[in-house]
Amino acid sequence: RFKTFNERVILMYYNENELPAILTFAEAVEYLYIGRNTLLKLLHNGTIKGFKVGNRWRIKKEDLLEFMNTDRA
């Protein structure tokens, strides 16, 4: 299934086996089903580890999965 995001068409990932090794910002937003500002806050405060290539965020698959599996009670 495809969905338009930021004037781009990206594939919606349904399980972790379909995720690329490094996700773009848009892919992470789509996979986590959260807003852009929420992901930015999580990246800036270090809750989700990410890095920048130029001025673009990238998130490693293992860092995204670690965030998802962390108990945040």
Task: Supply the DSSP string of the chain, one letter for each residue.
Answer: -EEEETTEEEEPP-SGGGS-SEEEHHHHHHHHT--HHHHHHHHHTTSS--EEETTEEEEEHHHHHHHHHS---
Q: Given a cut of 90, is residue 9 above it in pLDDT? A: no
Q: Given a cut of 50, is residue 1 above it in pLDDT? A: no
Choice between 9 and 25, residue whose per-residue pLDDT is larger: 25
The predicted pLDDT at position 73 comes to 55
Q: Given a cut of 90, is residue 8 above it in pLDDT? A: no
* pTM for the structure as a whole: 0.76
